[in-house]
Structure 1
Amino acid sequence: MLSCKEATELVSKSMDTQLPWRERLALRLHLALCGMCRKYRMQLRMMQKVIQKSSAEDWLPPVHLSEEAKQRILNHFKSER
C-alpha cells in the first residue's frame, strides 16, 4: 500500500504522463481508501483547468513603454544581427 506522500507524488506525475499500470493500480487503491489524497487530486485537476483556460495576458502585468524605449529595443535587436 502506498503512503500518502507516495500517492501525492504519483498524482502529480500522472498529470504530466501516463503511469505504468502497476503505479496506476496502486494509486487507484490508495485513492479508494484515502479521502485526503482524493481531495489533493481534485485540487490539482482544478488548478490545471484554470491554468489551461487562462492566457499569458491574464498573468502578466501590462507593459507600457515609451516610443523611445521601444526604439532602443528595436535598435538593439537590429545591431545583434
Structure 2
Amino acid sequence: MMNCEQATQLLSVGMERKLKLKEQAELKMHLLICSGCRQFAQQVQQLRTIIRATKDSSDKPEEKK
C-alpha cells in the first residue's frame, strides 16, 4: 500500500510527466482513503491551472496603446 509521502511525490511528478498505469492505480487507491492527500491533489491541480493561465497570457503579444 502506498504511503502519503509516496502519494504526494507522485502527485508532484505527475506535473512533469504522465504517470504510468500502475502509478495511477496505486495513487487512486490511496486518494480514496486519505483526505489529506486528496486535499494536496486539489492544490496541485489549482497550481497547474494557475501556471497554464499565466503561461497562456505571457505567450500572447502585448497590445500597443
TM-score of Structure 1 vs Structure 2, range by shorter chain: 0.7 to 0.9
Q: Which runs of 5+ in 2 are unaligned?
A: 59-65
Q: Which residue of 1 aligns with 2:9?
A: 9
How far, CA to CA, are the matches of 1:28 and 1:13 in structure 2?
A: 15
Whichever of the two has the greater Rg, that structure is: 1
Q: Percent identity?
A: 32
The number of aligned residues is: 56
How far, CA to CA, are the matches of 1:50 and 1:4 in structure 2?
A: 24
Q: Which runs of 5+ in 1 are unaligned?
A: 57-81
Which structure has more relative contact order (CA 8 Å, sep 6+)? It is: 2
Q: Tell me the alpha carbon deviations over residues 4-56 of structure 1, each in whole angstroms, 9 at most, x when there is no partner.
A: 00000001111221111111111000001101101001001101211221245
* Displaced runs of 4 or more, over 4 A: none
TM-score scaled by structure 2? Answer: 0.76
Question: What is the alpha-carbon root mean square deviation over aligned residues?
Answer: 1.2
TM-score scaled by structure 1? Answer: 0.63
